[in-house]
Structure 1
Amino acid sequence: MNTLDPASARPDYASLQQAAEWFAVLSSGTATEQQRQHWQSWLDARAEHRNAWARVESINQRVDTLGTAMDQHTAASALQTATKTVRMRRRTLGTLGAILALLLGGKLIHGLPPVRHTLAAWRADYRTGIGEQFSETLADGSHLWLDTDSAADVRYDGQLRRIILHGGALLVRTAPDTARRPLVVDTPHGRLLALGTWFSVRHNDGHIHLSVFEGTVEIQPAATGAATQRVAAGQQASFTRDASGPLQPLVQPQPQWQDGLLIADEMPLAEFLAELGRYRRGHLGCAPAVAHLKVVGAYPLHDTDRALELLATALPLRIRRTLPWWVTLEAR
């Protein structure tokens, strides 16, 4: 396996496409020795090629890890059960420990999405796989939705209604509590205190993003002495352990993903594909020449291939499938 060359950590679009094409050739089972030699020459020619090849290998491994690779182990059925959107506390810790031991022993964890790197996520009350969503009415009447590739625990006691987001995104519509217990969402970067509200929380790389659709939510960053910030309906903000970012108006007045839709209103194509790509395995991207095109409309999240077909009809684009898990959009 190749590793990233520090001389060029970000391979360009052309190098990535060439790497994907070479991967398709070499994995076809019909590659000739001459083709292998040409691939090696291409790989040795530039650091960008080596980084692109490492990127393609990483994505392939990530796709295979929960697919073909797991089919080779007797733990496959247990893992499939463990990833369903049900209460994980009903599974024994021994079973989960055995699954994790098998995964780690076989080095299958490498390259998986961050939510799957933690034991807490594996043991979560609720979790979803890539492309899955889930909803549940909680004991107090509040409603919880989980987005794709997410994990959360629910901990209610006599003093507090607590939801713990381990990764991914959730949406909460709170209900009045007869015991007057506060409802909070805890994240790795701090706590969110709901003040009679409807809001979503998303765990991004390095920060948490909050969107408030009704009521008010108070951000309480985890660092000692960090200032709190209240976010009202129609506002959004990001925060880290140390501080909250500036308040911004919501782009959408209400969430859409819980209805299985990705709503775009003049959204740049590159941004649209990055969001749609969260709901499918593998690589989804576009050529730089079309990255600026504006996307408008409602697209299904539960059928991303259909969403791409609709997109290619609405815009002058063609879908290029170099591999089943490597899809790019280019000018038509």
Structure 2
Amino acid sequence: MDHATLEAAATWYVQLNEAPPSAALAQAWEQWLQASPQHAAAWARVERLQQQWRLVPRQAALSSLGAAQAQRRDVLKVLGLLLAMGAGTWLAAEQLPGRALLAQQRTGSGERRSLQLDDGTQLELNVDTALDVRFDQKLRALELYRGEILVTASVDAQRRPFVVHTDDGSILSRGGVFSVRKLASQTRVGVLQAAVEVRPQRHVQQVLQVQAGQQLSFDRDELDTPRPLPVDSTAWVHGMLSVNDWRLGDFIEALGRYRPGVLRCARSIQALSISGAFHIDDTDVALANLDKTLPVKVRYLSRYWVSVEPA
């Protein structure tokens, strides 16, 4: 992908995140996006970068020279990361998000997939997931770089343990059902059947067993306290997003994983509470139902730019 296209994508990203976009700006961005497959591919790389690193440029008023210079620095920062993602170098091969781009198994935005491994283990891959499968004579291992999986780990005839690694640590199972989601700065595991052992990367001597019906979040240094696993935590496998007393802002962020483009929620209504079950294969229907139970309205600046705002 050429440098100019990536720089244009980085510029659009910074401009669109500096303030709520006008209809004219959103329309211009969509016209650029649809003008070329190269543009769409560059923007897809921006979205992967955002999901992996939660990169959000700071607010800036573009009326001053200092703000314009700050915007240019943000553009160059994003551009540098985009170039690193695509480079055929050690950085791309060994560092996230480069490893994710080279992963054996991947799903894109809005794509979910089932996969059966050689040992009979069943995997369900949620949207925007990337992983490698590494089996040998002693160990069955997955390297999860991003996204979310549901694992139904078979009991191995060779008694090899099943391990899921992320850059936060590892989850070991000897047979059972569990989910793993790689978040921006931690990993979350939920156990549906049997139990797993969790170890943080920098303190592998610390081992915590997570039982069926529990979930646990951890990072490279420490393990949180196990909590009850929410009901329907893996409803995404069946095309549903089930929420109970969620913040609206968290719901919109979760729903945005299942649709292309940008889905935003106004800050003033992010704390509203929402419960229900929503189809993730048709997010427009889910959005259309919001104003029936909440004092909000859904504003479509374009097909790819949607805002949830106060009514």
Q: TM-score range by the shorter chain?
A: 0.7 to 0.9
Among 254, 273, 280, the alignment partner of 2:259 is: 280
Among 15, 22, 25, the alignment partner of 1:23 is: 25
**Conserved 8 A contact 1:213-1:254:** no
Task: Find the aligned partners of 1:239 and 1:184 in 2 and give their Cα distance.
Answer: 16
Indicate the SS of the match to 2:289: helix
**Conserved 8 A contact 2:232-2:242:** no
**Conserved 8 A contact 2:189-2:217:** yes
Q: Per-residue displacement from partner, 1:172-214 (whole Å, max 9, x unpaired)?
A: 0112222111111111121110133211111111211111111
Q: Give the letter for the 1:300 counterpart.
A: H
**Conserved 8 A contact 1:261-1:301:** yes
Deviation at 1:53, TM superposition (A): 11
- Structure 1 residue 44 corresponds to structure 2 residue 63: yes
- Structure 1 residue 123 corresponds to structure 2 residue 102: yes
Task: Find the aligned partners of 1:331 and 1:101 in 2 and give their Cα distance.
Answer: 39
Task: Find the aligned partners of 2:23 and 2:69 in 1 and give their Cα distance.
Answer: 14
- Structure 1 residue 255 corresponds to structure 2 residue 234: yes
- Structure 1 residue 320 corresponds to structure 2 residue 304: no
Flag as ranges the 4+ runs of structure 1 deviating above 3 A: 19-22, 24-29, 45-55, 100-105
Q: Give the letter for the 1:160 counterpart.
A: L
Task: Find the aligned partners of 1:47 and 1:292 in 2 and give their Cα distance.
Answer: 34
Task: Find the aligned partners of 1:155 and 1:223 in 2 and give their Cα distance.
Answer: 22
Q: Give the letter for the 1:310 counterpart.
A: N
In the alignment, what sits opposite 1:142?
121
**Conserved 8 A contact 1:155-1:162:** yes
Task: Find the aligned partners of 1:50 and 1:23 in 2 and give their Cα distance.
Answer: 20
Task: Find the aligned partners of 1:265 and 1:47 in 2 and give their Cα distance.
Answer: 45
The number of residues matched between the two structures is 264
**Conserved 8 A contact 1:20-1:326:** no
In the alignment, what sits opposite 1:310?
289
Task: Find the aligned partners of 2:139 and 2:290 in 1 and give their Cα distance.
Answer: 45
Task: Find the aligned partners of 2:67 and 2:193 in 1 and give their Cα distance.
Answer: 47
Q: Per-residue displacement from partner, 1:71-113 (whole Å, max 9, x unpaired)?
A: xxxxxxxxxxxxxxxxxxxxxxxxxxxxx999559xxx9xxxx
**Conserved 8 A contact 1:273-1:284:** yes
Among 216, 223, 245, the alignment partner of 1:244 is: 223
Q: Give the letter for the 2:132 counterpart.
A: D
**Conserved 8 A contact 2:233-2:242:** no
Deviates more, 1:145-154 or 1:279-288: 279-288
Indicate the SS of the match to 1:199: strand
Task: Find the aligned partners of 1:51 and 1:283 in 2 and give their Cα distance.
Answer: 23
Q: Per-residue displacement from partner, 1:255-306 (whole Å, max 9, x unpaired)?
A: 1111111001121111100111112233212223322222221111122222
Counting aligned pairs with the same residue, the percent is: 34
Q: Per-residue displacement from partner, 1:227-249 (whole Å, max 9, x unpaired)?
A: 11111111111112222112111
Task: Find the aligned partners of 1:286 and 1:199 in 2 and give their Cα distance.
Answer: 31
Q: Give the letter for the 1:23 counterpart.
A: L
- Structure 1 residue 293 corresponds to structure 2 residue 292: no
**Conserved 8 A contact 2:191-2:213:** yes
Task: Find the aligned partners of 2:242 and 2:232 in 1 and give their Cα distance.
Answer: 11
In the alignment, what sits opposite 1:203?
182
Indicate the SS of the match to 1:217: strand
Alignment of 1:17-166 (within 5 A): 17=20, 19-21=21-23, 23-24=25-26, 43-44=62-63, 103-104=86-87, 117-118=97-98, 120-166=99-145
In the alignment, what sits opposite 1:70?
none
**Conserved 8 A contact 1:16-1:53:** no
Q: Which runs of 5+ in 2 are unaligned?
A: 1-6, 32-60
Q: Which runs of 5+ in 1 are unaligned?
A: 5-9, 30-41, 66-99
Deviation at 1:219, TM superposition (A): 0.5
Give the number of the structure whose alpha-carbon radius of gyration is greater: 1
Cα pair distance change 1:307/1:50, threshold 3 Å: farther
